[in-house]
Structure 1
Amino acid sequence: MRLFVCSLSLVVSFFVGTAWSAAPNSLVGALNDAAADTGQSQFVRSVEHYEYKDSLQRDTPRGSVEGFMAAVYEQDYEKAAEYLDLRYLPEGMSAKRGAEYAKQLQVIIERNLWLDLGQLNDTPQGLDNDQLPAYRDLFGRVRLQSDQIALYLQRVPNNGSSIWKVSNATVAKVPQLYENLGYGPVAEWFVNHVPEGRWFNVNLWEWTLLLAYLITAFVVMVPVTWIIKQLILLTQYELKEELAYIVAGPLRLLAAVLLVRAWVAHSSISPAAIEMIDTGFLLVSAIIWFGWSAMGIFQQGLKKRWKAQGKDQAASLLRPLTNFLRVIFVIMAVLLWLEHLGFNASAIIAGMGIGGIAIALASKQSIENFIGTITLYSAAPIKVGNLCKFGSISGTVEEIGLRCTQIRTLDRTLIHVPNAKLVEMEIENISQREKIRFKADIRLDYAVTTSEQLKAIVAEIKAMLEEHELVLKEPLRVTFKGFGLHGLQVNVLAYIGTKSFPTFQLASEELHLKIMDIVVKNGSRIVPVAPVALNNG
């Protein structure tokens, strides 16, 4: 339910944002804008409007069509009926239903005809040399099955002068055209039950229809994706939780959006509403979410496989690499979306190049950290899981990220060291040693140790070390160093053949205890560096 609410909020914000930024101020403005974008743009700008004398600007063909479209856009259909020639209508039609005919004609034009006002004549005489009577002008054609139906304007008398209206022959065809080219039964229901009005140049009933499509799409997709999710959770797949999240999250949204777009493509909504959908904002958002999540599950699957193969260093590289690919994916998706909207992606990239200089200066530290990351992975002085000493810091490397490295100290605290700083530090990689040194300095009491005892102690300690299973044969030294200030100095040097520090500690403890036993066995005793008072009883 929470996912549905979030997705619905995203759609609403998309509708509002797209409508605010993309919708024209009026349908007439949109038509003029479209004309300005065509090859006729210079003609449209160069021809001045006729100084209309009629209050409804019906003096010319262009003025009449422009006035009609402005009236229906304002949903003033009584006024729009004034632009229709309602005389001499066939049986079954009445001039009293002029507002209804005007509304039907609006639907026919919006759904089937792209008007270019710049192509319409703007003089009281109308267009010459069009092979039509002087009192008639063509303002568009619509296709009905295999036929092309012409839509005419006609000059009619009005208080001693003449004005241009939609011809009564065209008005007579409006009911039949509307029946074949108008709204379908679903759209018709919304038209009849939703209050009239517009929001960001789109009819309220169209907003309602789009919202109904979205809700219906989620009603269809939620149970379908829920069943798929439960089937995935019943499997033995290692990443079933992550895969179930993708199905119940981004895949559900993407499927719902595609379903809505399929319905819209076969619906009866106006080009203005279709234009809102064709911005692709919601589709691009769903694709980005799906791609982002898919890269995450691919990373986790590959990471587990590499760790099982002992490729820990390569596995630790996957996360920053995946994040980098995600960023590239999002940038490419946004650029393609902007290209779809009509922006010049090349110009945007060029602008980003210029702005990149300023960004680079502002993000100098981040770039240094990224270069430090590359150095850490290429030189590989440390790996994830290594026990290291970084200056005064000692701990285990848990993660090497794009910005910093996470180190778990012996006190179990987590330290984040920037990679730019880490590559400049003196690093002692304790985990890289192949063996651990065992060193003991023994001082024997002058008073109770003879030369024979000293020789026996040295020989027995060496023999004990040689017999120990973990002590390496080379190098191994037990030597009498000399006469120290506080006692006879015997140095012991050997290496324990292990990389495990806990194993070394157990072996070291065992060796120290055996050395003590050998000293006591030979009648000597170990003295500290500084003499202490001993209670001989």
Structure 2
Amino acid sequence: MLKKSPVTLIFLLAFSFPLFAQLILDEQDSKPLPEGVNLSSPYHTTLSFFIHLDPDNFNPSRAARTLDRRGVEGDPETLAIKLQQIFEGKGIIIRTSTIPNEPNYQDSTSNSEHKYYFDKNRIPGIYLEKRGSQWRFSAFSVSQIDQLHAETYPFGTDQLLNLLPKMGTENYFGLQVWQIFGMLILILLTFLSHLVFTFLVDKVLLYLMNRMGYGYIGENYLLPIAKVTSFYLIVVLLSLLLRVLQLPAEIWAWIVLVFNTLKPFLITVIFYKIVDVIAAYFASLAAKTASTLDDQLVPLLRKTLKALVILIGTLFILRDGLDLDIIPFLTGLSIGGVAIALAAQDTIKNFFGSIMIFIDKPFQVGDWVTSGEIDGTVEEVGFRSTRIRTFRNSLMYVPNGKIADAVVDNHGLRQYRRFSTTLTITYDTPPALIEQFVLGLREIIASHPNTRKDLYHVYFNNLSSYSQDVMFYLFFEVPTIKEELQARHEILIQVVKLAQTLGVRFAFPTQTLHMETFPEKKGLVPEPMDGPGYENLLKEFFRKELGKKLD
């Protein structure tokens, strides 16, 4: 025989120990099953497990025979009890009538393997697996028991499962004494939690916000969020503690359904209200800018975010609350989205048109725009259309896609607003008077506070069929059409007063009949003056109307 060193023997023992342990487990599994334990099908295995954990027929050692403990350490009876508590804590009702009673059952959703899943959504890692001729809870499932138990009863609540039953197990109204006491304690904790959260929210939070100078924000925006958050925390607390009471499966299943629905619902409400805070913040930023288009963007952003929150929240409620598989729904939604996109090309075009308007900012709210038949003041920019108030006071709804493709003349972005007209004076106006009239017009433009001083034209530039024409061309430096009209009004009033002061008459299409002048009648033609005479009249006009002296 070959001699082996002690080190070699140690290595052989170390590597062979798992094999020996596995052989021991296999030997245990090969032992005859005790009475009442049947592992021939998923139905019989499930029945054997839960019957022997029933309080009236409590025998955890027999229930543990349904576990495949290969490679898993730990007390088998403890593992069996923990597995039952996982089913109860998650509110999973086992209806034996729906469990297959076929020794060769195959799961069609997992490559036709010999497996049976109880609930793939809530406990996907717990399933029965056929090994040889026997169905057991799979080795993988057994290895996950401790972890799932800790997730089902977190923060040390699993310790209450051992402490509360010591209060008494007598039955009253279908509940044990310790369950009734536990419910009373939970009611008291809920009441105290509500008082604590109310105090923290209504008193402490508002006090701190008022001290920081944000009392309005705290009361109108943060307080509603804090209240809903307090309700959510109470629901979470109840969901953690109620499962410790081990209520009857039929009752607890409905309670779990309510809690699983309330949690995503309250979270959705919280984010829905957070959107108001975000919108208020962006609204404050938009109010500091000169642009009015971002003021319209904030409400659209708020509506879009709220719709997105509602959509995502609904999906979570369907998945967690109603235990529905949303993957097929999302798949169908994506396929249906393509069909909807093809059927709603104009709507999508208008949507992207609105995005281009907000990015390029070709106009703002309040601007006067012109484009083909479009002529009016922008009142609102939406995701689909832009609302324009025409000068007939009617409303024009223009699709954003049309505006994005059109040439838009934005009068509201003008730095200077041009004003051009022709002042027609009669042919009997002397040249010297015309010269003084033109000088007076130029001084009116130079003296007005809202005119451009470096560019204006006032010239006697044409002889028309019935008048002598003076070009009156200037620019107003005003931001809105209202201020432009006011400036025009002031300028034209000064022009009329200047003409009256100098004796200049405005011409209009007429027919003149020349008659012999009677000595006692005075003609309409003003008596001509010398140069200084007209200058004195012009100086008098400047002194009275413009409050300045002309050198």
Q: Give the TM interval when normalised to the shorter protein.
A: 0.5 to 0.7
Match of 2:419 among 430, 434, 438: 438
Partner of 2:353: 372
TM-score, normalised relative to structure 1 = 0.56
Partner of 1:305: 285
Partner of 2:261: 281
Unaligned 5+ residue runs, structure 2? 1-37, 59-80, 89-93, 104-160, 514-522, 525-551
Partner of 1:240: 218
Which fold has the larger relative contact order, with Cα–Cα distance below 8 Å and residues 6 or more apart in sequence?
1
- Using the alignment, how far apart are the partners of 2:163 and 2:301 within structure 1? 57
Match of 1:482 among 444, 462, 470: 462
Alignment check: 8 A CA contact 2:186 2:241 kept: no
Partner of 2:237: 259
* Alignment pair present for 1:494 and 2:494: no
Q: What is the root-mean-square deviation of aligned Cα atoms in Å?
A: 5.3
AA at the equivalent of 1:257: V
* Alignment pair present for 1:269 and 2:247: yes
- Using the alignment, how far apart are the partners of 1:185 and 1:390 within structure 2? 84
Alignment check: 8 A CA contact 1:371 1:420 kept: yes
1:109 Cα shift?
11
1:183 Cα shift?
9.7
Residues 436, 277 of structure 1: CA spacing in aligned structure 2 closer, same or farther, 3 A cutoff? Answer: same
- Using the alignment, how far apart are the partners of 1:430 and 1:223 within structure 2? 56
Partner of 2:74: none
1:298 Cα shift?
1.4
Partner of 1:456: 436
Alignment check: 8 A CA contact 1:387 1:395 kept: yes
Q: How many residue pairs are counted as aligned between the two chains?
A: 389
AA at the equivalent of 2:499: V
Q: Deviations over 1:451-500 (max 9, x none)?
A: 33333323432344345443324432123342323322222111122224
- Using the alignment, how far apart are the partners of 2:312 and 2:354 within structure 1? 24
Partner of 2:485: 505
The range that moved more, 457-466 or 370-379, is: 457-466
Partner of 1:75: none
* Alignment pair present for 1:420 and 2:401: yes
1:368 Cα shift?
2.6
1:504 Cα shift?
3.0
Alignment check: 8 A CA contact 1:183 1:268 kept: no
SS in 2 for 1:383: coil
1:434 Cα shift?
0.3
Partner of 2:542: none
1:248 Cα shift?
6.4
Alignment check: 8 A CA contact 1:405 1:418 kept: yes
Which is higher, the Rg of structure 1 or of structure 2?
Answer: 2
The range that moved more, 389-398 or 290-299, is: 389-398
Partner of 2:336: 355
Alignment check: 8 A CA contact 2:347 2:384 kept: yes
Q: Deviations over 1:365-399 (max 9, x none)?
A: 43232112112122221123434346666554344
SS in 2 for 1:478: strand
- 1:72-221 pair list within 5 angstroms: 191=174, 221=197
Alignment check: 8 A CA contact 1:288 1:333 kept: yes
The range that moved more, 281-290 or 448-457, is: 448-457
TM-score, normalised relative to structure 2 = 0.55
Partner of 1:141: none
Residues 363, 439 of structure 1: CA spacing in aligned structure 2 closer, same or farther, 3 A cutoff? Answer: same
SS in 1 for 2:437: helix
Residues 221, 241 of structure 1: CA spacing in aligned structure 2 closer, same or farther, 3 A cutoff? Answer: closer
AA at the equivalent of 1:324: T
Partner of 2:364: 383
Partner of 1:520: 500
SS in 2 for 1:269: coil
Partner of 1:15: none
Q: Percent identity?
A: 18
Residues 387, 184 of structure 1: CA spacing in aligned structure 2 closer, same or farther, 3 A cutoff? Answer: farther
Q: Deviations over 1:204-257 (max 9, x none)?
A: x99999999988876775565444575478453152343255246533432332
Match of 1:43 among 38, 41, 44: 41
Alignment check: 8 A CA contact 1:436 1:504 kept: yes
Alignment check: 8 A CA contact 2:42 2:101 kept: no
AA at the equivalent of 1:258: V
- Using the alignment, how far apart are the partners of 2:198 and 2:245 within structure 1? 23
- Using the alignment, how far apart are the partners of 2:289 and 2:509 within structure 1? 51
1:328 Cα shift?
3.8
1:296 Cα shift?
1.7
Alignment check: 8 A CA contact 1:110 1:270 kept: no
Partner of 1:470: 450
1:184 Cα shift?
6.7
Unaligned 5+ residue runs, structure 1? 1-39, 50-60, 73-80, 85-106, 123-177, 194-202
AA at the equivalent of 2:41: F
- Using the alignment, how far apart are the partners of 1:456 and 1:488 within structure 2? 14
1:348 Cα shift?
3.4
SS in 1 for 2:267: helix
Q: Deviations over 1:78-120 (max 9, x none)?
A: xxx9x99xxxxxxxxxxxxxxxxxxxxxx99986887796799
- Using the alignment, how far apart are the partners of 2:370 and 2:479 within structure 1? 16
Alignment check: 8 A CA contact 2:41 2:102 kept: no
AA at the equivalent of 1:380: K
- Using the alignment, how far apart are the partners of 1:297 and 1:428 within structure 2? 37
